[in-house]
């Protein structure tokens, strides 16, 4: 079924950069709330413009000539829209404008492709994820401007060389808010977002070939940092008279014992605190990122932290915790880590890694249970955390040694047979 679009044309004047009382006439093309302006190269005294009627006042020959021209432009723009509509279901105001000027732009461009994605997927993507796509679009348009000296790029022109060039551009990119160039994984993430856009274009039959078919995305596997038990205990036992640090410490420790991410903790309300089947308090909510539901019992100091904030003056009504920005959380956590002599780059998201590794998996909680608690859509996502710690290896191998000794050889016989090791 063909999707319906809204299309309109309006005329207006602009006095920008003029102080002589005159104004330029513009046409505005609007398609599904997206706009494109085009100059009509007519300049008139601003007092003779009828903004309600979108025309020039008066019966002079010049006024009649301009008004006739405006009607012709409106008719031609509608005709351009109808022609594009007969070719494709996705139309942007830029496509109508370019078609009016005789350019062959019935094909979708990269800019309109991203706009289409961001518009039609805004309901299913969280704010942060959508922001990543917009950043990718910004980098892509800068690359096109630098490499091809143009403001946009047609999908039919995409090829393997374009993708490789964009990858090279990303690897040399030094964003303002970064300390260094984009990492390999940072660059690959943007390539992945572009690949998703291209696959959408192939599915919609806007292009025939996928330029990514010979391109491989290579992610570097990196160990996710976490706190071991002694480091976590240092933070739990940290005492300070500074209120902001006390709040951040409690939020971080709460996340370490629940695995709940920053954005989900900020969204927790009293309704999310429920009695579980065991008669104890549980958290029941959905992950903002994946929309997956999860429930987990409160263990360790998690419940006492909630109680501590029950009557806190900075807590918002019906919320469980005071609101604080993620940026400030991470900044204050570094102060706490320094005070606790923890050399790691402690961030709030590290609490989630600590929960997965130190609190659950290393204590024998099945990975399927951990995956459900973390709200992951795939078990493979949780397997990233399934590292085996040295002390866990020691405990397991000691148990194995006992079993083997009882089944096969007495340990004393072993010494007599093979002798003492001499290093």
Task: Identify any residues that bridge with 28 across adjacent strands, giving them in sequence order.
Answer: 10, 37
How much is the pLDDT for 390?
A: 54
pLDDT digits (tens, 9 = 90+) for 202-231: 888 788 788 998 899 888 877 778 899 999
Alpha carbon of residue 87 to chain centroid: 33
Three-state secondary structure readout of the chain = CCCCCCEEEEEEEECCCCCCCEEEEEEEEEECCEEEEEEEEEEEEHHHEECCCCEECCCCHHHHHHHHHHHHHHHHHHHHHHHHHCCCCCCCHHHHHHHHCCCCCCCCEHHHHHHHHHHHCCCCCCHHHHHHHHHHHHHHHHHHHHHHCCCCCEHHHCCHHHHHHHHHHHHHCCCCCCCCCCCHHHHHHHHHHHHHHHHHHHHCCCCCCCCCCCCCCCCCCCCCCCCCHHHHHHHHCCCCCCHHHHHHHHHHHHHHHHCCCHHHHHHCEHHHEEECCCCCEEEEEECCCCCCEEEEECCCCHHHHHHHCCCCCCECCCECCECCCHHHHHHHHHHHHHHCCCCCCCCCCHHHHHHHHHHHHHHCCCHHHHHHHHCCCCHHHHHCCCCCCHHHHHHHHHHHHHHHHHHCCCHHHHHHHHCCCCC
Q: What's the pTM value of the predicted model, to 2 decimals?
A: 0.57
pLDDT score at 418:
42
Rounded Cα–Cα distance for residues 331 and 104 (Å): 52
Other Cβ atoms within 10 Å of 407 Cβ, number? 7
Report yes or no: 136 and 111 within 8 Å, Cβ to Cβ: no
pLDDT lower than 50: segments of the chain: 1-2, 105, 388, 411, 414-419, 421, 423
Please tell me the distance from the alpha carbon of residue 363 to that of residue 370, in angstroms, as a whole number. Answer: 11
The single residue listed with the structure tokens 């005709």 is 79
pLDDT score at 414: 47
**Residue 300 φ/ψ, nearest 5 degrees:** 60, -140
Per-residue confidence (pLDDT) for residue 170, from 0 to 100? 93
**In whole angstroms, how far apart are CA 60 and each of 48, 52, 72, 158, 399?**
11, 19, 18, 52, 102
CATH number attached to the domain at 229-387: 1.10.443.10
- Residues 124-146: tens digit of each pLDDT: 777 778 888 999 999 999 999 99
pLDDT of residue 423: 44
Strand ranges across the sheet with 273-275:
273-275, 281-286, 293-297
Half-sphere exposure in the Cβ direction for 267 (13 Å, CA): 12
**Cα within 13 Å of Cα(213), Cβ side:** 7
Q: ∠ at Cα 237 (231, 241), nearest 5°?
A: 125
Phi, psi of 91, deg, nearest 5: -130, 135
């Amino acid at each position: 079924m063909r999707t319906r679009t809204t299309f309109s044309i309006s005329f207006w004047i602009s006095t920008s950069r003029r102080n002589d009382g005159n104004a330029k006439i513009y046409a505005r093309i609007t398609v599904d709330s997206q706009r494109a302006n085009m100059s009509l190269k007519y300049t008139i005294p601003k007092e003779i413009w009828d903004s309600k009627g979108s025309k020039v006042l008066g019966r002079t020959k010049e006024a009649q000539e301009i008004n006739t021209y405006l009607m012709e432009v409106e008719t031609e723009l509608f005709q351009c829209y109808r022609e594009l509509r007969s070719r494709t279901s996705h139309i942007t105001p830029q496509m109508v404008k370019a078609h009016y000027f005789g350019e062959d732009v019935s094909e979708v461009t990269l800019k309109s492709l991203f706009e289409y994605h961001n518009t039609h997927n805004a309901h299913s993507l969280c704010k942060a994820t959508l922001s990543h796509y917009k950043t990718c679009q910004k980098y892509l348009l800068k690359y096109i401007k630098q490499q091809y000296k143009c403001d946009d790029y047609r999908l039919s022109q995409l090829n393997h060389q374009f993708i490789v060039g964009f990858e090279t551009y990303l690897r040399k990119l030094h964003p303002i808010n970064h300390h260094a160039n984009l990492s390999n994984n940072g660059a690959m993430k943007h390539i992945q977002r572009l690949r998703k856009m291209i696959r959408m274009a192939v599915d919609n039959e806007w292009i025939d070939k996928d330029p990514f078919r010979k391109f491989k995305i290579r992610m570097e596997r990196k160990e996710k940092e976490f706190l071991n038990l002694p480091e976590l205990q240092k933070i739990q036992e940290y005492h300070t008279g500074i209120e902001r640090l006390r709040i951040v410490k409690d939020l971080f420790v709460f996340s370490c014992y629940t695995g709940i991410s920053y954005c989900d903790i900020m969204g927790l309300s009293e309704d999310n605190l429920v009695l579980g089947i065991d008669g104890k308090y549980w958290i029941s909510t959905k992950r903002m990122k994946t929309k997956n539901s999860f429930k987990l019992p409160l263990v360790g100091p998690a419940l006492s932290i909630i109680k501590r904030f029950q009557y806190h003056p900075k807590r918002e009504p019906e919320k469980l915790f005071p609101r604080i920005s993620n940026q400030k959380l991470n900044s204050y956590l570094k102060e706490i880590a320094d005070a606790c002599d923890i050399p790691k780059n402690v961030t709030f998201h590290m609490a989630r890694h600590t929960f997965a590794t130190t609190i659950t998996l290393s204590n024998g909680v099945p990975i399927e249970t951990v995956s459900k608690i973390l709200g992951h859509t795939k078990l493979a996502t949780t397997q990233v955390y399934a590292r085996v710690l040295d002390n866990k290896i020691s405990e397991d191998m000691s148990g194995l040694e006992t079993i083997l000794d009882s089944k096969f050889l007495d340990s004393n016989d072993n010494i007599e047979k093979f002798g003492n090791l001499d290093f």
